[in-house]
């Protein structure tokens, strides 16, 4: 039997308080959520190292704003996220998250967005062997984009963005950086509702906290380019494909050994069998910088299958299966052993109950297993989740 944490029970009245004010204003919506997660292997260590179990309670209070003024629309989502660990309280954290947009328009042919967002979370214990310290990774984005319809079926695209990623503590593998990007593209939107686009991207980045290190070949800057095709295609009324394919090339001015290039992308498929049943499949290929003495980046391939069944208007069941591979590459010196490769399998089931349109209870179980050819990176993890959320 799983006993819910006292913090979980104490936060439940917040949901009732919010529900008493439902529908006061149509511009604002309020959100509250409380979840408890029992994690059997918090630090993602092999079973021989005595995995540590912990119960993590997350409380979220937020407000959503959506206001249309003529052709303009203002949207904002702001949340305070409090995370509490019952056994490892030094990991506790409270953070502000937001996502704000101005969807602007000038006439009927020119529109775009001016947006900013911020999120913060503990760095993954699975990615960094031996990491057990509190180390929050905060990502902030500011972006401007435009879409000019110079023809009923053709659009010119453009945009500028700035991204800042910071860690509480220095991580050489995924260091703090700031990056400025510019994109140009074109989009084809026929009357069918399907679309196809092409974009080219140029990014200039700075590792603004990591010291320049010639011995370890840690550079202080990078340049990245990308050429991307993206599309949405609905062949039938039940099926939808979404995808993108991009060739990425990253260069460092001082250490070419850290450079990498290759194809990335994703392909998603949705089959809506009925209003109550849906099947999904998604494949994602990515290349991510990961710089240490043994690698400069990794290539990941991830396949996920999912399903959802609405048994009634109030009860729904969802299931998912996943398999992923990571290949670490770009060593800066010859290695005596093969490059690290990880294989991860995942499975999970969620049960949702919505007694009212604004209130949802959810329970779920999940399991994950990683096998690696490098010692110390194998692990097995099981999780049990309970949550309640309200949106009014």
SS3 258: helix
C-alpha closest to that of 93 among 135, 154, 142: 135
Query: How far is it, in rounded angstroms, from Cα 35 to Cα 303?
Result: 27
Say if residue 8's pLDDT is above 70: no
- Region of poorest pLDDT, from 23-37, 129-143, 154-168, 192-206: 23-37
Q: Are 300 and 326 in contact (CB under 8 A)?
A: yes
CATH of domain 6-391: 2.40.170.10
Task: Tell whether pTM > 0.85.
Answer: yes
Q: Region 56-62: what's the mean pLDDT? A: 98
pLDDT in tens, 197-211: 999 999 999 998 888
The residues spanned by each domain of the chain are 6-391
Rg of the chain over all Cα atoms, to the nearest angstrom: 23
Contact partners, residue 27, CB within 8 Å, separation at least 6: 65, 66, 67
Query: How far is it, in rounded angstroms, from Cα 390 to Cα 392?
Result: 7
SS3 286: strand
pLDDT in tens, 222-240: 999 999 999 999 998 899 9
């Amino acid at each position: 039997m799983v006993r819910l944490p006292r913090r979980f029970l104490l936060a439940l009245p917040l949901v009732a308080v919010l529900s008493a004010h439902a529908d006061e204003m149509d511009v604002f919506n309020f959100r509250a959520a409380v979840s408890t997660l029992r994690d059997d292997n918090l630090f993602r260590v092999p079973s021989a190292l005595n995995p540590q179990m912990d119960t993590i309670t997350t409380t979220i209070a937020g407000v959503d704003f959506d206001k249309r003024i003529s052709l303009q629309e203002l949207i904002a989502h702001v949340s305070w996220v409090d995370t509490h660990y019952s056994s490892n309280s030094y990991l506790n954290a409270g953070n502000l998250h937001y996502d704000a947009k101005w969807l602007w328009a000038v006439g009927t042919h020119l529109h775009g967005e001016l947006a900013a967002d911020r999120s913060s979370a503990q760095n993954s214990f699975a990615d960094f062997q031996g990491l057990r310290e509190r180390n929050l990774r905060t990502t902030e984005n500011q972006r401007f984009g435009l879409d000019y319809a110079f023809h009923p079926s053709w659009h010119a695209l453009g945009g500028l963005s700035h991204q800042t990623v910071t860690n509480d503590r220095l991580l050489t593998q995924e260091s703090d950086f700031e990056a400025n990007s510019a994109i140009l593209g074109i989009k084809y939107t026929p009357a069918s509702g399907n679309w196809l686009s092409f974009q080219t991207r140029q990014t200039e980045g700075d590792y603004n906290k990591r010291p320049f290190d010639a011995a370890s070949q840690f550079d202080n800057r990078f340049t990245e380019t990308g050429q991307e095709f993206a599309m949405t295609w609905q062949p039938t009324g039940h099926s939808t494909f979404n995808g993108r394919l991009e060739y990425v090339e990253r260069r460092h001015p001082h250490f070419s050994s850290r450079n990498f290039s290759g194809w990335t992308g994703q392909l998603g498929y949705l089959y809506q069998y009925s209003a109550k049943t849906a099947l999904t499949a998604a494949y994602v290929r990515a290349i991510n910088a990961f710089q240490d003495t043994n690698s400069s980046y990794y290539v990941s391939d991830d396949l996920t299958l999912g399903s959802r069944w609405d048994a009634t208007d109030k009860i729904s069941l969802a299931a998912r299966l996943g398999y992923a591979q990571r290949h670490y590459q770009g060593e800066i010196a010859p290695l005596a052993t093969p490059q690290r490769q990880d294989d991860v399998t995942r499975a999970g089931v969620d049960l949702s109950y919505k007694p009212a349109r604004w209130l949802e209870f959810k329970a779920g179980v999940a399991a994950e297993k990683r096998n690696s050819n490098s010692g110390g990176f194998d692990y097995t993890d099981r999780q049990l989740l309970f949550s309640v959320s309200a949106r009014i």
